[in-house]
Structure formats: C-alpha cells, structure tokens
Amino acid sequence: MNETLASFIREHTIHEVECVIPDMTGVARGKIVPKALFLAEDSMKMSKAVLTITVNGEFAEFERFAGANDPDMVCRPDPSTIRLVPWAIEPVAVVIHDCEDFDGRPVGISPRAVLRRVLQLYENRGWRPVVAPEMEFYLIRQNTNPHEPLRPPPGRAGRSEVGRQSFSIDAVNDFDPFFQELSSFCQAARLNVETLIHEVGACQMEINFSHGDALELADQVFLFKRAVRETAYRHNIFATFMAKPMEGEPGSAMHIHQSIVDRDSGDNLFSNPDGSASALFFQHIGGMQHYLPQAMPMFAPYVNSYRRLSRHTAAPINVRWGYDNRTCGIRIPPSGPAARRLENRLPGVDVNPYLAMAATLACGYLGMVHRLEPSAPMSDSAYDMDYELPRSLEDAVERMQDCPELAEILGEEFVQAFCAVKEKEFETFNRAITAWEREHLQLHV
C-alpha cells in the first residue's frame, strides 16, 4: 500500500474508505471498503461496463465498449486525491481511482484518462494548462414529485425569494447555516473555493475555485458537487446542478478560465515578453471558435442543457469572443500580462468536470497546433447574432461524431462510447410525454 494513503488513514483513524471513479455523467461509482481491506490491497476490481452507465441508470452498449463477457477493470487509487468525507458520522476517507486494463494501460473511455490524455499532449510540447472553474447552482425547496416545478426554499426568515436578489449579501446571509457548514466541509476536504456570490436567479449561487492544475481542479469539482448536495440534505433543502432547473430563471454554468504556461519557467505563454498578447493566445481562441461547436456534448450533455443555451437567457449562443464581453461564448477578462487568460462561458454546471476540462483544452490545443486564427473581437452584444451552436443534444452528438480531429485528441473509442451514452439518454427521454404536450396538444390537435 502507498505510504501516503497508509499515513492518512493512520493519522485520521479512518474506519472505511470510499473508493470511487467518475463515470461518463460525473456520478461517483465504486465501493465502500473497511480500512483493513483497503490497506491490504493496492487496487480494486470493477466491471468496465460501469463507465457506460447513463444518467438514468441504463447501460449503453456495454458489450461493445466493455466486452461481451462483462469483464473487470483494475481501479487503482490516486494517492493525491485522498480526503476526508467530512459529513460522515465516523472517520471516512474518499479516494478517486484511475481505471486500467490488466496490462496496465489506461481504460480509454474513463473520463479521468481522457483528461490525462489531453494534458499529456500539452506536456509533450512543454506546456502546462492553468484553469479556474466558476460554478453556479440553485438552492431549491425539497421536492419529491418530479412533475411539480422547482421553487426557491425558505430562508432563515421563513420566506422564499420573490424576484431576483442579484449579488445581494443579505440574500446569501439568509442561508448562513448552510454556507457555514459547506465552508467547513470544503476546508476539511481540501476544496480550494475562494468567493461566494448570489447570482442573478432566485436562490442561485456561485462559488469560484482558485486557479491551478486541470486534473486537480476536476477532482475538486467532482467532490464539491457531492459536498453541496450533502450539505443541503442536512439543512432540509435540495441543491441542483441542472443547467436550466426553473422556467423564467437563468441557467447555471460552469465557466472555465484557462491559460497556458511554460512547463519549466512558469511564464504565461499567452503574453509576449513586452506584455502584448502572443500568437498562441489568438490561436487558442481560434481553436476554440472552430471546435467548441463540435465538442458541445461535453459542455451541454443533457436535453435540459440546451434550454439554457437560448437567446436572451444570459447564456452564449455562439462562439464569438471579446474583451470583457460577457455576451460572448469566449470572454477575455481584464488582467495584466502575467494573468492573461480566456473564459469559456459555454459549459453548463451539469457537465462531467473531467470531460469539460478535457474538451476546452483540446479545442485550444488544436488551435495552437494548427495555428488557427480567430475572428475579430466583438465589442457589441453577441446575443443578437446568429446561433452557431447545436440547438439540441441529438444535433450536438452528430456533430461530435463527425469531427475526426477531436476523436484523435480525445480517443476514438471514448468518442464512440460517450456518444453512445448520450444517444441512449436521448432515446429514453424521447419516450416520455411532457406536461407541455398534454397541456397544449391533448384537446387542441
């Protein structure tokens, strides 16, 4: 057993260990094992088919991607990821695992392996991405009936938000007990959150993470979602990371700030020595403009995601870019040369963080390698321009399948498996009859 893992377990008198892997949807799958068993083994075995589970629990062509005999894979703990599960009654640890075949090769359809694959391409060129995610989510009233609309929960004054309390400190303070406990959980679990604000929607919140390594930040986002939901349960409310949970309210995004530094010197490669923007900076933008529409299933992975990406919903509908222009899909925040970066505003907060990080970095990488030039920057509103993104999950999957450049970067097997999961989810959704259809078609057509 790795000494880092063993020392953590001894130091914190751990009783059990949650051994988890993120599946295609970002759900934590795995096993809970007693301390002694975890220390006695250097890995665990799980069915490879777990990686093809849809968000509603079905398996998408697991025989094709896992094997007709439903074989195991080796799940090996990453020592850098061990953390406390702060809401557990007894001392419990969680460790994120990497997925390998029995010959030691990474399982190509594993989301963590996909991000590692993209990061290795950067490493091979002496580059290192730096990212910082911003996560929006809604606090909602507990609702066990999926046919009822979601509503804001009552705060400490016993009242729910009426109207929007954008950026209100008092509106955040209305849920102080929730946020204080969430803060303590994040600190105990080494989740490097920085700022908290009340976003535009009714009881919509945003938390920003410190910038850092893409894999480490994806791990933190993966664990943060669990922490938020668990904290909400303890305070008799729910938290949702749906991209568009409520009609008439803004959607929730996971904006990704990204830059590239020299692996050895740490210098920001988006800036020239004289402080001006570099060619790599513009090529990175050009790559994102060209390839983001093809990678949309990784930024908008569900049918609900596309309800957010519509005109006049404060979400992008195209891949225009501009300086400090929030109407664009690609925003350049104001900063000095050392912090020059861009912000990808396309991803919804419903994404698998590993895949969203991999996709946004893959698009920029292709731009830098192929020296793609961007369009002119937008100074006016991009909301009034034409749609440049897929309008539905079905359209998005087709476009991703028809992009050989992304398949080469992300892995052909992964693209096929991921699209199969999305097609299975869309097929299941299409069998459902919505309330809108009953209301408007039942007696009128």
Residues 324 and 401 in one domain: yes
Looking at residue 159, its pLDDT comes to 80
DSSP 434: P
Look at the block and give the residue holding tokens 């109407």. 327
Mapped onto helix, strand or coil, the DSSP state of residue 181 is helix
Residues 334 and 228 in one domain: yes
Amino acid letter for position 45: K
Report the domain count for the chain. 2
CATH of the domain at 373: 3.30.590.10
Looking at residue 62, its pLDDT comes to 80
Residues 279 and 428 in one domain: yes
Residues 181 and 307 in one domain: yes
- Our CA dihedral for 53, 59, 65, 67, rounded to 10 degrees, sits at 120
pLDDT tens-place string over residues 182-210: 999 999 999 999 999 889 898 999 999 99
Residues 175 and 242 in one domain: yes
Looking at residue 165, its pLDDT comes to 75
Looking at residue 318, its pLDDT comes to 96
For residue 339, the enclosing domain spans 119-439
Which phi and psi angles does 240 have, rounded to 5°?
-125, 140
Residues 73 and 127 in one domain: no
Looking at residue 169, its pLDDT comes to 87
Residues with Cβ < 8 Å from 61, sequence gap 6 or more?
52, 417, 420, 424
CATH of the domain at 63: 3.10.20.70
DSSP 90: S
Looking at residue 311, its pLDDT comes to 86
Residues 102 and 123 in one domain: no
Residues 336 and 316 in one domain: yes
Residues 162 and 86 in one domain: no
Look at the block and give the residue holding tokens 């450049």. 405
Residues 167 and 249 in one domain: yes
pLDDT in tens, the chain (445 residues): 689 999 999 999 999 999 999 999 999 999 999 999 999 988 999 999 999 999 999 999 888 988 888 899 999 999 999 999 999 999 999 999 999 999 999 999 999 999 999 999 999 999 999 999 999 999 999 988 888 999 999 888 778 887 677 778 888 888 999 999 999 999 999 999 999 988 989 899 999 999 999 999 999 999 999 999 999 999 999 999 999 999 989 999 999 999 999 999 999 999 999 999 999 999 999 999 999 999 999 999 999 999 999 987 889 999 999 999 999 999 999 999 999 999 999 999 999 999 999 999 999 999 999 999 999 999 999 998 999 999 999 999 999 999 999 999 999 999 999 999 999 999 999 999 988 899 999 998 9
Looking at residue 65, its pLDDT comes to 87
Look at the block and give the residue holding tokens 């700030």. 257
Closest CA to 378 of 333, 334, 323: 323
Half-sphere exposure of 309 (CA within 13 A, CB side): 34
Please tell me the distance from the alpha carbon of residue 49 to that of residue 99, in angstroms, as a whole number.
Answer: 12
